[in-house]
Amino acid sequence: MSIQEYSNKINNLRTEENNPQFSDAIDLENIVLKVSENRSQSYFTLKDFFDQSVSKAVMLNSEIVKLIADRLGLLFSSEKEAGNVCFANSSELRSEFRQILTAIDLLDYIYAFAHSSFYKEFQKIAIPSETDSFWRLVEIGFLLRKEKT
């Protein structure tokens, strides 16, 4: 699935009334509650995140991407390294040691968050500040993406 197809899939969640349940629903709700409970938390909407004003191709809002990366203390890489160049971004590496996030990581985070009751009620996504919660939601988003393809 390309980034374009995945972003379309995420945008379509806004129009779907009932998303199917999945096995980690309780875990998802607990993590989203933890991420969202900070009163000084910043949020964004899907419309703000996907900048389609330039062309028909989906572009990620660079300001939001930078804000997320800075909050998490991670580097954003627009491309995934091919081959055995560096172990720092390997999916086998424990989340607390990851130093780089990619567009697909952000989309998996958003996809997981968009399946939560918090998102369904408020139509906004929290900008995470804890890497553990972020990577757990990335993992859940990845599982949801694979489950629904």
Task: Write out the residue range of the structural domain in which residue 98 sits.
Answer: 3-147
Q: Which two tokens stand for residue 111?
A: 């996809």
**In this structure, which amino acid lies at residue 85?**
V
Q: How many domains does the chain have?
A: 1
pLDDT value of position 83: 47
pLDDT value of position 18: 52
Instruction: Output Rg (C-alpha) for the chain, integer angstroms.
Output: 15
Digits of tens for pLDDT over the chain (149 positions)? 787 888 888 877 765 555 555 666 888 999 999 998 877 779 999 888 986 655 566 688 999 999 999 999 999 987 655 444 455 555 555 556 678 999 999 999 999 999 999 999 999 999 999 999 999 999 999 999 888 65
Q: ∠68-48-103 over CA atoms, to 5°?
A: 45
pLDDT value of position 71: 94
Between CA 48 and CA 13 the distance in angstroms is 15
Q: Give this prediction's pTM.
A: 0.82
Which among 23, 38, 47, 36 is positioned nearest to 117, based on CA atoms? 36
